[in-house]
Amino acid sequence: MRSPEQSREDNAKKKVKVAYLVSHPIQYQAPLLRRIAQEPDIELTVFFGSNFSVQEYVDKGFGVDVKWDVPLLDGYRYEFLPAIWDKRRTGPTSQLNYGIFSRLRGSRERDGFDVLWVHGYSTLNTLQGMLIAKALGIPVLLRAESRLGRKQNGALKQVAKRLFFSGLKQLVDGVLPIGSLNAAYWRHVMGEDLPQFMMPYAVDNEYFQSRSREAGLRGGDLQRELGLDASRPVILFASKLQRRKRCEDLIRAYLSLCSKVGSEPTPYLLIVGDGEERAALERLVSQSRVSGVRFCGFRNQSELPGFFYLASVFVLPSQDEPWGLIVNEVMNSGRAVILADDVGCQPDLLTDGVEGCVFPVGDVNALTEALRRVLERPETAATMGGHGLKRISGWSYEEDIAGLRRAIAAVTRRLST
């Protein structure tokens, strides 16, 4: 009969050792990493290139000091790799670390890894990691946010991209698409024969649903803070105030909508976020002399569900938005959503007229009409929000785990799926 110590050793040997290489701790990813760490037959170790996001730092997009109020490092095994340099920001050359080879290979005291999973493919660290894994015979899984852009590249750039992806394909054993547009991108740049394992871009659904319920129990605290009349509907924007987010389009659509409102209650517009465009947007609102717009500034992760609860409809009018995880969060609060057709999550999460509305990016008149459709009757927004909550419930970490397990099983011939 085997001793408990021997049984634990046997279980440890059966585990698939997965190394995850990523630039820095990311607030959206931490809950997923905690969930993966709970799998009994997967031993996950996360290797970070920098710790800048754990401390207070200046976020270039928001333009303010940011310190996340959700745990970034709890519940999973991790290591910060020693740095050759660290510019303490994101970017292709922002970090270069050493020690990846020794970690992946292992030592007498510690076995090496069975799989390397990397986030992104354009940084020095991820390229270094993939090359080392290839040399060590360790299979590589790649996940990234990329999708096909609307603009055609010049001929020279197209040739360079083809050469790059031809080389990259030799380093990768499978990709983990985050959605349908990302899957199409991989087929385009890597070919139809490279295995794909869907690992959808999800958020912690349970967390956002429970936080929304808590916001409801707190009643009108935030409503009173913002000076809102409970009888008036609320339009919500929550993102960085950058040009590509096109918040100006939403303000102009809101002003147009308000000019046409008859006896119906005039909606509020809440703008949550900060960034380089804020001053110009505030001037635009000031010149219009409307009184229903509230600039709420940057709000931390745990504060957002309170705004979701207040909203009748959430709007993301962005251009060239790779995904838009804020949409997942809002849908978990059961709120209607209006998206530009250039937001990456739209084909997977929103059907026009069901969970909300879709409009052509940059078309202010179409956005105005979408707002009118959703807000014309209170029951319309509520019904759309209910459809959205049902749809997002099937786009969760459990689908992520299933996709990751399929990928690991395929490249290692281990794990049950």
For residue 68, what pLDDT is reported? 74
In this structure, the number of other CB atoms found within 10 A of the CB of residue 209 comes to: 19
Say whether 79 sits in a helix, a strand or coil: strand
Confidence of residue 7 (pLDDT cuts 50, 70, 90): very low
For residue 56, what pLDDT is reported? 67
pLDDT digits (tens, 9 = 90+) for 192-238: 999 999 999 999 999 999 998 888 887 688 899 999 999 999 999 99
Q: Hey, what long-range contacts does 358-367 have (CB within 8 A, 24 or more apart)?
A: 359/317, 361/246, 361/317, 361/318, 361/319, 362/246, 362/249, 362/319, 364/249, 364/252, 364/253, 364/256, 365/253, 365/256, 367/249, 367/250, 367/253, 367/315, 367/317, 367/338, 367/340
The answer, as to whether pTM is greater than 0.85, is yes
Bridging pattern class, strands 16-22 and 42-48: parallel
CA 299 from chain centre, in angstroms, equals: 17
For residue 149, what pLDDT is reported? 78
Give the helix/strand (H/E) hosting 281. helix 278-288
Q: What are the backbone angles phi and psi of residue 320, rounded to the nearest 5°? A: 55, 50
Question: If you average pLDDT over residues 276-284, what whole number do you get?
Answer: 96
pLDDT digits (tens, 9 = 90+) for 225-269: 999 999 999 999 999 999 999 999 999 999 999 988 654 679 999
pLDDT, mean over the chain: 91
pLDDT at 30 over 60: yes
Q: What domains appear along the chain, each with residue ranges and CATH number? A: 4-202+396-412 (3.40.50.2000), 205-392 (3.40.50.2000)
Q: Distance (Å, rounded) from C-alpha 46 to C-alpha 57? A: 21
Query: pLDDT over 70 for what percent of the chain?
Result: 92
Confidence of residue 8 (pLDDT cuts 50, 70, 90): very low
For residue 294, what pLDDT is reported? 96
